[in-house]
Amino acid sequence: MSDPNWNTLASIAVTVIPAVVKFRAEISRAIDFVAEFVGLVVLIFGVFIYGTSLPQLQRMQADLARLSAESPSMAAQQMQTLYTLYTGSIAMMVLGGFLAISGLLGRLRPGIKRHR
Mean pLDDT by 10 residues, the chain (116 residues): 70 81 83 91 94 89 84 87 92 94 83 56
Q: Is residue 93 in a domain?
A: yes
18 in any annotated domain: no
What is the spatial distance between Cα 31 and Cα 103, in angstroms, rounded to a whole number?
8
Domain presence at residue 16: no
Asked whether residue 47 is domain-assigned, the answer is yes
Tell me which residue range forms the domain holding 47.
Answer: 27-114
- 33 closest CA partner among 89, 108, 115: 108
User: Distance between terminal CA atoms of the chain?
Assistant: 54
pLDDT at position 96 is 94
In-domain check, residue 8: no
Give the C-alpha separation, 82 to 52, whole Å: 10
Residue 70 CB-half CA count within 13 A: 7
Q: Is residue 10 part of a domain?
A: no
Could you say which DSSP state residue 115 is in?
T
Q: Is residue 5 part of a domain?
A: no
- Look at the chain and report how many structural domains it folds into: 1
What backbone torsions phi and psi does residue 35 show, to the nearest 5 degrees?
-60, -40
